[in-house]
Amino acid sequence: MDSQPFKTPLANILVIDDTPENLHLLAAMLTEQGYKVRSVTKGSAGLRGAQAAPPDLILLDINMPEMNGYEVCQHLKESDRTRDIPVIFISAMNDVLDKVKAFSVGGVDFITKPFQVEEVLARVDNHLMIRNLRSSLQEQNARLQQEICERKQAEEKFAKAFRSSPSPIAITTFSEPRFTEVNNSFLRMSGYCLEEIIGYTAAELQLWISSQKYASTIAKLLEIGSLQNYEMEFRTKSGEVRIVLLSAELIDICGIECVLNIINDITERKRLENEFISLVSHELRTPLTSIIGSLDLLSTGLLGTLTTKGQQVLNIALTNTERLNRLVNDILDLERMKSGKITMLPVKCNADHLMIQAAEAMQAMAERAGITLVTEPAMAEIIADPDRILQTLTNLLSNAIKFSEPGKSVWLRAKLQGEHLQIEVQDQGRGIPENKLQTIFERFQQVDVSDSRKKGGTGLGLAICRNIVEQHNGKIWVESILNQGSTFYVTLPLA
Q: Is the peptide bond before 177 cis (omega within 30 degrees of 0)?
A: yes
CB of residue 374 to ligand ADP, shortest distance in Å: 15
CB of residue 267 to ligand ADP, shortest distance in Å: 23
Nearest CB to ligand ADP, comparing residues 393 and 463? 463
Helix locations, 165-193, DSSP H: 184-190
Nearest CB to ligand ADP, comparing residues 35 and 403? 403
CB of residue 142 to ligand ADP, shortest distance in Å: 58
> DSSP secondary structure string, 57-83?
EEEEES--SSS-HHHHHHHHHHSTTTT
Q: Produce one character per residue of 387-419: b if its CB has 16 or more CB atoms within 10 Å, e if not.
A: ebbbbbbbbbbbbbbbbbeeebebbbbbeeeee
Nearest CB to ligand ADP, comparing residues 461 and 474? 461
CB of residue 480 to ligand ADP, shortest distance in Å: 7
Q: Produce one character per residue of 471-486: b if its CB has 16 or more CB atoms within 10 Å, e if not.
A: bbebebebebeeeebb
Residue 22 C-beta-side C-alpha neighbours within 13 Å: 22
Nearest CB to ligand ADP, comparing residues 168 and 461? 461
Nearest in space to 441 (alpha carbons), one of 402, 476, 480, 484: 476
- Element housing 217 (H / E): helix 211-224
Beta-bridge partner residues of 58: 14, 87
- Other C-beta atoms within 10 Å of 268: how many? 10
351 neighbors 378 (Cβ within 8 angstroms): yes
CB of residue 398 to ligand ADP, shortest distance in Å: 7
CB of residue 336 to ligand ADP, shortest distance in Å: 17
- Other C-beta atoms within 10 Å of 79: how many? 13
Nearest CB to ligand ADP, comparing residues 296 and 405? 405
Nearest CB to ligand ADP, comparing residues 56 and 427? 427
3-state secondary structure of 212: helix
Helix axes 461-471, 308-338, angle to 10 degrees: 30
Residues forming contacts to ligand ADP in the complex (CB under 6 A) are 395, 399-400, 403, 427, 429-430, 432, 440, 446-448, 451-452, 457-463, 486
Nearest CB to ligand ADP, comparing residues 41 and 409? 409
CB of residue 366 to ligand ADP, shortest distance in Å: 13
CB of residue 246 to ligand ADP, shortest distance in Å: 22
344 neighbors 493 (Cβ within 8 angstroms): no
Nearest CB to ligand ADP, comparing residues 237 and 326? 326
Angle at 82 between CA 79 and CA 85, to 5 degrees: 140
Nearest CB to ligand ADP, comparing residues 190 and 404? 404
243 neighbors 231 (Cβ within 8 angstroms): yes
Dihedral of CA atoms 17, 23, 29, 30 in degrees, nearest 10, equals 60
Nearest CB to ligand ADP, comparing residues 377 and 461? 461
CB of residue 189 to ligand ADP, shortest distance in Å: 30
CB of residue 271 to ligand ADP, shortest distance in Å: 22
Q: Closest CB to ligand ADP belongs to which residue?
A: 457
486 neighbors 479 (Cβ within 8 angstroms): yes
